[in-house]
Amino acid sequence: MTDFHFSNDFTRNIDAMVYTCGYEDCKPGHSYGPAIRSGYIVHYILKGKGFFQCRNKIYRLHSGDAFCIHPNERIYYEADSHEPWSYSWIGMRGIKIQQYLKRTSFYDAPYLHLNEDPELLRCHEKMLEASMLSENRDLMMNSVLYEYLYLLTQKFPRENLSPQEKQNHYVQETLQYLENHYEENFSLQDISAQLNIERSYLYRLFKSSVGVSMKDYLLDLRISRACSLLSNSSLSISDISRSVGYKDPLYFSKLFKKKKDCSPSQYRRNFIS
C-alpha cells in the first residue's frame, strides 16, 4: 500500500471530525518530532516495532499496539532500525473529542494493546477508503470516526472515573438530551431513565452544576428557539408553538410573554420594524 495523507476543513464540524488519516510503511529509523500536534491522533501499528516518547516516558511498542497523541503535548516517535513499523493513523478534532476519549483507556495511558482487533482494523481501512471518495467524503469519514470512537469506548472503557467526572458526564448527557428533544413532550423521569440514575439525584445535580432547574433551562431553550423562528421564518404562532414543544399556542404565548415582556406577535413586529 502506498503512503497516503488526508486533511479536512475543521470549520465544517465542531463536535467531532477527521482532519487527517493515512498509512505509512516507515523506513528504518524514520522519526517524527520532537513536536506538538494540534489535534488527537491515534496510530495503529500494523507490523514491526518502534518507540513512542511522551510525558517524559519512553514506550516500546509493536504490532497490535496503538498510541494516542494528545494536542499540545510534546512527543517523539521512531521506527526500529531493524524491524521498522508500519502504521495507520486517524486524526480527530472537535469540542467533544476529549469528552469521548475520556470514556476510553486512552485518557489515562498514551498507548493501548488493541490485539489486532478486526473491527478497529476495519475502521482504519474504511477511513482510508472513505478519504478517497469524490463526493460526500466528509459524511462517510465522520461516520467511521463515530463508529471508531464507539468501539474504543466499548472495548477499552476507562475504568476509574472520578466522582466529579461521572457527575460531569451526567450533566453533559442531560444537556445534550434537552438540546435534541426540546420540541418533544418528555419528563424528568424520561431523562433519568435514559441515564439509569435516580430522578431526584439528577434534579439536584443539574441544578447545582448549571445553576437553574431542568424545567427552567428547557423553558429558556424553547423560548430562544421560538425567538429565532419568529425572527427568521414566516411560520404562524401556532406552528412555532408546536415546533418548540407546546401543543397549546395560548399557553405558549403566556409563557413567552412572561419571559420576554411581549407577545410572540409583538416580538415579531418589533424585529421586522
**129 and 17 part of one domain:** yes
Distance between CA 107 and CA 112 in Å, rounded? 10
**173 and 141 part of one domain:** no
Q: Report if pTM > 0.85.
A: no
**60 and 170 part of one domain:** no
**178 and 222 part of one domain:** no
Residue 194: DSSP 8-state: H
| Under 8 Å between Cβ of 243 and 236 | no
What pLDDT, on the 0 to 100 scale, is given for residue 273?
Answer: 64
**122 and 237 part of one domain:** no
Which tens digit of pLDDT belongs to each residue from 19-47? Answer: 999 999 999 999 998 999 989 999 999 99
Q: How many angstroms separate the first and last alpha carbons of the chain?
A: 63
Q: What is the pLDDT averaged over residues 228-235?
A: 92
Report percent pLDDT > 70 for the chain.
Answer: 94
**24 and 126 part of one domain:** yes
Question: How many domains would you assign to the chain?
Answer: 3
Strands of 138-260, DSSP E:
none
Question: What's the longest Cα–Cα distance across the chain?
Answer: 77
Alpha carbons within 13 angstroms on the beta-carbon side of residue 121 total 12
| Under 8 Å between Cβ of 134 and 80 | no
**13 and 147 part of one domain:** yes
**122 and 171 part of one domain:** no
Computed over its alpha carbons, how large is the radius of gyration of the chain?
24
Report percent pLDDT > 90 for the chain.
Answer: 67
**50 and 136 part of one domain:** yes
- Matching residue, cell 481501512: 125
| Under 8 Å between Cβ of 92 and 17 | yes
Alpha carbons within 13 angstroms on the beta-carbon side of residue 77 total 30
* Domain of residue 178, residue span: 163-211
**149 and 258 part of one domain:** no
**126 and 252 part of one domain:** no
Q: Which residue has the higher pLDDT, 254 or 157?
A: 254
Count CB atoms within 10 A of the CB of residue 188: 17
| Under 8 Å between Cβ of 25 and 3 | yes
Helix (H) or strand (E) holding 190: helix 188-195
